[in-house]
Structure 1
Amino acid sequence: MTRTIWAAVAAVALLGSGQAAAFQQPADTAADASSADAAPAAKKLPDGTTPEERANTARLNAAQSTQAQAETTTYEQEVSAAKQQVEHDQTVFAEETAAYEAEKARVAAMSAEERLKWEADAAACKAGDTTRCAAPVTPPR
């Protein structure tokens, strides 16, 4: 019983939306057949299309294919450019990081050298070598 109800509801929905016409046999099939004989250009092919419809479909397919190929080419170029930009950015980052690390090492070495000199001067001053002592600081007036 529920199948019958669902089938009836579906049929009413199709009728209401105008889609049921696709399931109905045209009333004037005999008239179509006689007009198809009269106009060979409008003769329907086995799949129900006309040569004109096929030509239009082929033209539209070709246009869509051309547009899709152009979009694909553009996309591939954008991807390539983005990849090159990422590689460039990574190279620049690596160079800047190397320069920073080199400067950091230079400053650390310079600080270590100055600290060793200061420690040697302080030890010599404590040992009695006054030439290596720091100058006394005079307080500001």
Structure 2
Amino acid sequence: MKSRYPSPILGAAFALLAALSNGTVGVLSRSAFKEGLDPTAVAFWRCGIALSLISIVVLWKAGGLVRLTSAFAGSWKIAVCSALGIFTLYHFETSAFAYAPIPLVAILVFAGGLGAIAFDIIILKERVTTRKAFA
């Protein structure tokens, strides 16, 4: 049976890169707090910088603007994803860094992976394989 995912290894590599970069967030946020920024301002700048970087990456490639506009065909899905995945994550995670130790916040945020697995099973009706359970 052919896998419906083109490259699980590449996917795992991207996930590890995301985890490594996310590992710097707490330290950088705490440094911004020491400079006098409040959690809301830090969350705003995190989103603003992320939007700027991803815009450059998307628009840099040939046909990037066309792909970007065609992606908005399901814009309500993008809006929900942005609200849940970006606003709540950045706002609450950044606020947590102001009140709790960085390792505690990181563990609790990364525990969200369990929620992703639950939604994967309940909403997307995917099976939990041995590989997924180990991951």
Is the structural similarity TM-score above 0.5? Answer: no
Q: TM-score range with shorter-chain normalisation? A: under 0.3
Which structure exhibits the higher relative contact order, with contacts defined as CA atoms closer than 8 Å and separated by 6 or more residues?
2
Max radius of gyration: which structure? 1
TM-score normalised by length of structure 2: 0.23
